[in-house]
Amino acid sequence: MQFNYSKRHLKRNLILGIIQIGIGILSLTLDSISWFFQYGWILIGIVTLSQNYRNRKDPYLILDNEILSTQNLFGYKTTRISEFSEVLKKNDYLILKNDKKRKKIWIWLAEERTSEILHSELLKIIDSKN
């Protein structure tokens, strides 16, 4: 089961990247700030736009069997759901807990209704373990 980034988040990230590159190009043409910051704005804008492209291409969360993969800056971070005994739902995140560990899964970046679907699927996995 895959959950993508929300369209709203992707749109804001795209606009931010374009603005950052625009500031860099504008400061280059006006020679208003030091060269370090001129090229820095352009570099940050390019990184933001490339991250936006990756977010559009790859899903944010992947739930496969008992493994939940969350997209990070460099690849995916995996979590084995069967290691946890409880799942709590908050507004912007889910909390997986057991006696020793506690793991937050941020869902505010994902599509609408991701929290309900993911919460119910995680509960099924944890309940089937017990």
How do residues 16-62 score in pLDDT, each as one tens digit?
999 999 988 888 888 766 766 778 889 999 999 999 999 999 999 99
Q: Tell me what pLDDT residue 39 has.
A: 85
pLDDT of 130 over the 70 cut: no
3-state secondary structure of 80: strand
CA distance 57 to 14: 14
- The distance from CA 57 to its chain's CA centroid, rounded to whole angstroms, is 13
pTM: 0.75
